[in-house]
Amino acid sequence: MNGQPDQAIPAPAASAEPQAGRVTVPVWLFALLFLLLWWSMVQFDKTGGWFNEEVYAPYTSFTMVQDYQPIREGPDLSRGQRVFESICALCHGTDGAGKPGQAPPLAGSDWVNSPGVNRLIRIPALGLIGPIEVSGKAYDFPSGMTAVAPTRDMMSDEVLADVLTYVRQAWGNKAPPVTAAQVKTIRDELGNRSTQNTVKELQALPEEEAK
Amino acid sequence: MTESSPHEPRPLAAPGELELSCRLPLLVLFVSAAVWLVIGSTFFLIASIKFHSPEFLGNVRWLTYGRVWPAAVNSLLYGFGVQAGLGVALWLVVRLGDTPLLQRGLVTLGAAFWNLGVTVGALGILAGDSTGYENLEAPGYAAWIVFPGYLLIALFSVLTLHHRRVRPLYVSQWFVLTALFWFPWIYSTAELLLLQHPVRGVMQAVVAWWYSGNLVVVWFGLAGLAAIFYFVPRLTQRALYSRHLALFTFWLLILAGSWPEITKSAPVPAWMPALGAMSAMLMLVPTLAVALNVLRTLGRNYSNLRAHPALLFFGVGAAAFVVAGLVRGLMALLDGDPLVHLTWFSRAMMQLQVYGFFAMTMFGAVYCILPQLTGLEFPWAKLVRVHFWLALAGLVLLVVPLGIGGVVEGLKLRNPEVAFADIMKGTLPFLRASTVGDLLLALGHLVFLTNLVGMVNRFYRVRALSAYAAATADLFKAAEARP
Amino acid sequence: MNYGALIFLAAFFALASSWFGFVLTPQAQVGQLRQTNTVPAGELYPEAPPGLARQGLDVYRANGCAYCHSQQVDQKGTVCRVVLADPGTNQNAVLAALLKVREDWTEAQAKEAIAKSRLHVLEGVAKEAADNASKALKAAGAKTELWVVPVGPDMARGWGKRRTVAEDYLFDSPVMLGSQRIGPDLANVGLRRPDPKWQLRHLYAPRIEVKDSTMAPYRFLFEMRKIEHERSPDALEDLPAELAPGPGYEIVPKTEAKALAAYLVNLHMDAPLFDAPLTLPAPPPATNAAAALLTNAAPQSMEKPK
């Protein structure tokens, strides 16, 4: 069969099944295997992020990803102002003075400036209905205030906190900021409720939220 | 394990008994595979031409590039690849175990299902029902037809192996048995997690990569290596150099090769590309083991390659396997992925593995099996060499320009000063060369199909003639007896 | 010894380990993702795409756009930028700190720098250097901002502001990341080409928008019809002579085309997340902000700070 130029294709001898020799695997192949195993483990150590699901190349470790996180210093007043002016100011006015027949003023309001935020947070979360007295003046709006931040999808805890902080520090108001944690606590408590708050109901609640 | 001298005749099966038991399913499998190969090559050619002339068949909705390309891949991988692989597996199981195939009718039915399923899948893709996952584009409804077909073929192959008369296992049987088990698991997992109960978000891409890697690297690797380790010793009438090396290859292929290679830019946590790179590096070892085994089996005297034309195919196939493995491994070692990811280079590598290694190996196997199966020679023996040269030229013209083009593209993409339009223009010369490659491959596959069909035609004609002669022998005898 | 059983066990073990490592473990990590919050704004991300865009994803899949376009962006590294937001009251201390941080500046340059508002003190430096500079300037009473800036060829090409991560694809089914860049990457195409009309014209005849494009025309997504009473608002306008329909006819995109355009215009993956930190320039006070903000997406601006 060897070296024979052929036109037809000869079928190999029908009964000649191949056999296998018994030469052992050469040592250098094993050595190469272990070398590659070692090297690839070194590479994995460098670039694999140790199976952490939040480490993406080019970051090489979780601490590195944490390191590069932008630091948030204090409440974002600009965002609070932006959101206020696009949503709340439609009724309360960009100057916080309120609009007759629509909304009471926020500037100088005792509801806004109260140290405790238990009542304040609930107002944008569920809205408010009923005759209300703001800093000595009486107001009554027939349909009350709708909930402008009923769910976290509509407005996250952080954004609502920023808005309330802005309201408490604008137009001469000087009240401490509202934190996202405080908003979260109140919202968790309110759960799935969708009915508006009544003024009487809020007045029955303590000003300070439960810790 | 008894130590027997090479090529000891085994008088257990009656002459022709083995061939008779598996001829029908194997003919169906191989001829269908050849037909799908031609269909796939045509689609690839159309896809390739569209780069030079985007208006080519531009207004035909079902031939838009995004549908023609997956249809081509589907035809190549499932229509040709898995069918040819199953055919070779069947043959090896029957011959090495010296046992006739069990239930060849059901196995043929399985092959028919497979073909029906792939047809439905290809048509579904062209109609716009592609799944969107690479290498698994056939719509879900096609999978329901294709999977039982595979199971029928695999089940009876495994049973035949179980009932084998020659108990000691040759290395190819390890590869083949594993391949038969491998596909149902990966295919059903992929279909379940991607189509029936889709997983969430980018996890879909992970499953798709896992499946794709297991199909192309492991399944095709197992089937192709089984053929190489069987036919090369057989045709050269020499013993396989080392059984231990072959099993070493087997273990590393299934352990390291089954971890998919994921590019670093993929939106998955960093550990996945890192493990993928590890697997590519480790695959260097079985690659070298195969190279050593095949080279030593051929011996120092490469004139052994002229013993049989099919050996040319196996030679190229083994060389392509080694080159592909080396390139992948080196790319992983040198961290070349950021340069060539998402460029033509990765396509070139895939074509090298599928066309260069797997298809060539299957061609060699078919050219060996069919003459034995039918007891005839190929009607146009010269065409075998024509096919070989067309296939080799096509392969080189397809893979090399795309590979170089990919690297050039990668270098330019790195440089933000180069406008994207210029990058695309820069790859056009390479694409032109690859289109020529596609054309040559398509011609080669046509030649292959012609030869196969010619042989099957001749076989059935011979059978019909002899059956006719047997049936009418009495009549003629009676006629001769009359004065 | 029953070798058949041994082989089966070997195959089982190998495939099981691969399945465990690459299917089960990622499912536990990436497969359980839920919407996350951007950092530091805390807005929900990603948002579910609008209905037409979701239909567009289907058209994208059916026509195999992912075979030419990738949707994944990579970054080579991350650098920092130190911005002097407010020089504060103690000019001399800030001057001294600036000169220590930027040894290459003269005093005149430093004084001029303080006068400019929102100055980039350091650009493209490592985190440690940026931290030190920031500390030094803060100690002098200035207000600084430390910006995190992803860098890489994809960023430089304008294909994205940061690398894409798993959360970006949460609502996509199927996720088509693509494997080739025969066409430009589309992960942030909604930022580059936000006009659906541009997308429609490009789909109809890519070469009128991109010279020498190799992209095939998708004219079968459009239909030519007679103008009844008046032109449809969707009709393609300003087509070149050889492509324009005859007088009295107009080219109108089918729903598929509109859906695809809506999908493309909605593609953007640039929200700063924990696993892909990024500092975006503060958006200007939005004029028509009500609509934008109620969808919880901060309006993004491409302009650099002054």
**ipTM of the complex model:** 0.89
- pLDDT tops 70 at residue A72: no
- Encoding tokens for residue B212? 């794709």
Is B272:B262 a contact under the CB 8 Å cutoff?
Answer: yes
Q: What percent of chain B has pLDDT over 90?
A: 77
The pLDDT value given to residue B342: 92
How far, in Å, CA of C247 to CA of A25, rounded?
Answer: 79
Q: Which of residues 55-74 of C touch B (CB under 8 A)?
A: 61-68, 70, 72-74
How far, in Å, CA of A179 to CA of A117, rounded?
Answer: 10
R_g over Cα of chain C: 26
Helix, strand, or coil (residue B458):
helix
Burial class (CB in 10 A: 0-12, 13-18, 19+), C299: middle
Burial class (CB in 10 A: 0-12, 13-18, 19+), B415: exposed
The pLDDT value given to residue B6: 47
Burial class (CB in 10 A: 0-12, 13-18, 19+), A73: exposed
Provide DSSP, A40-107.
Answer: HHHHHHHHSGGG-TT--TT--SHHHHHHTSPP--S--HHHHHHHIIIIIHHHH-TTS--BTTTB---T
Q: Sign of the C-alpha dihedral, residues B449, B452, B458, B460?
A: negative
Chain B contact set for C175 (CB, 8 A) = 132, 201-202, 204-205
Instruction: Compute the half-sphere exposure of residue A115: CA atoms within 13 Å on the CB side of its CA.
Output: 1
What's the gap in Å between the CA of A192 and the closest CA on chain B? 27
- pLDDT tops 70 at residue A167: yes
Per-residue model confidence as pLDDT tens digits over C123-132:
888 888 888 8
Paired sense of beta strands C222-226 and C249-253, if any: antiparallel
C285–A68 CB contact, under 8 Å: no
Q: What percent of chain B has pLDDT over 70?
A: 95
Which of B128, B182, B203 minimises the CB distance to C30?
A: B203
What's the gap in Å between the CA of C232 and the closest CA on chain A? 34
The pLDDT value given to residue A73: 60
Which residues are bridge partners to C249 per DSSP? C226
Q: Which residue of A has its CA nearest to B333?
A: A40
Per-residue model confidence as pLDDT tens digits over B248-257:
999 999 999 9
- pLDDT tops 80 at residue B480: no
How far, in Å, CA of B45 to CA of B91, rounded?
Answer: 32
Is C37:C47 a contact under the CB 8 Å cutoff?
Answer: no
How far, in Å, CA of C122 to CA of C138, rounded?
Answer: 14
Residue type at position C216: A
Per-residue model confidence as pLDDT tens digits over B170-212:
999 999 999 999 999 999 999 999 999 999 999 999 999 999 9
The pLDDT value given to residue C289: 46
Reported as a pLDDT band with limits 50, 70 and 90, residue B63 is very high
Which of B10, B229, B281 minimises the CB distance to A36?
A: B281
The pLDDT value given to residue B280: 95
Q: Choosing among A44, A47, A51, A53, which should be mutated to test the C contact, i.e. which has the most C CBs within 10 A?
A: A53
Query: How far does chain C reach from its first CA to its final CA, in angstroms?
Result: 78
How far, in Å, CA of C237 to CA of C242, rounded?
Answer: 13
Chain B contact set for C174 (CB, 8 A) = 131-133, 194, 198, 204
Helix, strand, or coil (residue B124):
helix
How far, in Å, CA of A20 to CA of B248, rounded?
Answer: 14
> Tens of pLDDT along chain C (306 residues)?
567 788 889 889 999 999 999 999 999 999 888 888 888 777 888 888 899 999 999 999 999 999 999 999 999 999 998 888 777 778 888 888 888 888 888 888 888 877 777 778 888 888 888 888 888 888 887 888 888 999 999 999 999 999 999 999 999 989 999 999 999 999 999 999 999 999 999 999 998 988 888 898 999 999 999 888 888 888 888 888 888 888 888 999 999 999 999 999 999 998 999 989 988 876 655 444 444 444 444 333 333 333
Architecture of domain B17-458: Up-down Bundle (1.20)
Phi, psi of B270, rounded to the nearest 5 degrees? -60, -20
B231-237 average pLDDT score: 90
Contacts with B21 (C-beta within 8 Å, 6 or more apart), sequence order:
B94, B100, B101, B104
Q: Choosing among C128, C164, C296, which should be mutated to test the A contact, i.e. which has the most A CBs within 10 A?
A: C296
Helix, strand, or coil (residue B421):
helix
A85–C289 CB contact, under 8 Å: yes
Which residues are bridge partners to A65 per DSSP? none
Helix, strand, or coil (residue C3):
helix
- pLDDT tops 90 at residue A20: no
B387 close contact with A: CB closer than 8 A: no
Q: Give, for B243, the enclosing helix (H) or strand (E).
A: helix B243-256
The pLDDT value given to residue B5: 44
Closest CA to C159 of C69, C88, C86: C69
B292–A22 CB contact, under 8 Å: no
The pLDDT value given to residue B482: 64
Is C191:C269 a contact under the CB 8 Å cutoff?
Answer: no
C179 close contact with B: CB closer than 8 A: yes
Closest CA to C154 of B414, A112, B150: B414
- pLDDT tops 60 at residue B4: no
The pLDDT value given to residue B16: 80
The pLDDT value given to residue B295: 92
The owner of tokens 């002669």 is B469
Per-residue model confidence as pLDDT tens digits over B341-369:
999 999 999 999 999 999 999 999 999 99
Is B284:A32 a contact under the CB 8 Å cutoff?
Answer: yes
The pLDDT value given to residue C298: 39
Cα–Cα distance list, B332 to A55, A139, B256 (Å) = 20, 73, 14
B281–A7 CB contact, under 8 Å: no
B181–C12 CB contact, under 8 Å: yes
The pLDDT value given to residue A8: 44
Phi, psi of A91, rounded to the nearest 5 degrees? -110, -40
Per-residue model confidence as pLDDT tens digits over B80-110:
999 999 999 999 999 998 889 999 999 999 9
Which residues are bridge partners to C79 per DSSP? C149
Residue type at position B137: E
Provide DSSP, B74-101.
Answer: HIIIIIIIIHHHHHHHHHHHHHHHT-PP
A156–C43 CB contact, under 8 Å: yes
C239 close contact with B: CB closer than 8 A: no
Closest CA to B189 of B224, B217, B163, B214: B214
Average pLDDT, chain B: 91
Q: Choosing among C275, C278, C288, C295, which should be mutated to test the A contact, i.e. which has the most A CBs within 10 A?
A: C275
Q: Which of A190-199, B193-202, B260-269, C8-17 has the lowest mean pLDDT?
A: A190-199
Is C170:B200 a contact under the CB 8 Å cutoff?
Answer: yes
Is B37:B117 a contact under the CB 8 Å cutoff?
Answer: no
B420 close contact with C: CB closer than 8 A: yes
Contacts 24+ apart (CB under 8 A), B20-23: B20/B100, B21/B94, B21/B100, B21/B101, B21/B104, B22/B90, B22/B91, B22/B94, B22/B100, B22/B101, B22/B104, B22/B107, B22/B373, B23/B373, B23/B374
Burial class (CB in 10 A: 0-12, 13-18, 19+), B62: middle
User: How many Cβ pairs within 8 Å bridge chains A and C?
Assistant: 80
- pLDDT tops 90 at residue B453: yes
Q: Which of B58-62, B279-283, B436-440, C287-291 has the lowest mean pLDDT?
A: C287-291
The pLDDT value given to residue C301: 34
B468 close contact with C: CB closer than 8 A: no
The crossing angle, in degrees rounded to 10, of helices C196-204 and C255-265 is 130
How far, in Å, CA of B253 to CA of B288, rounded?
Answer: 12
Phi, psi of B22, rounded to the nearest 5 degrees? -120, 5
Reported as a pLDDT band with limits 50, 70 and 90, residue A154 is confident
Provide DSSP, B310-376.
Answer: HHHHHHHHHHHHHHHHHHHHHHHHTT-HHHHTTSHHHHHHHHIIIIIIIIHHHHHHHHHHHHHHHS-
Which residues are bridge partners to A129 per DSSP? A198
3-state helix, strand, coil in chain B (%, to 5): 80, 0, 20
Q: Domain map of chain B by residue range?
A: 17-458
Reported as a pLDDT band with limits 50, 70 and 90, residue B45 is very high
- pLDDT tops 90 at residue B29: yes
Q: Which of the other chains make 3 or more beta carbon contacts under 8 angstroms with chain A?
A: B, C
Neighbour-count burial for C218-257, b at 16+ CB within 10 Å, e otherwise? bbbbbeeeeeeeeeeebbbeebeeeeebeeeebbbbeebb
How far, in Å, CA of B87 to CA of B235, rounded?
Answer: 19
How far, in Å, CA of B19 to CA of A127, rounded?
Answer: 85
A68 close contact with C: CB closer than 8 A: yes
A19–B9 CB contact, under 8 Å: no
Residues in chain A: 211
Q: Give, for C127, the enclosing helix (H) or strand (E).
A: helix C127-139
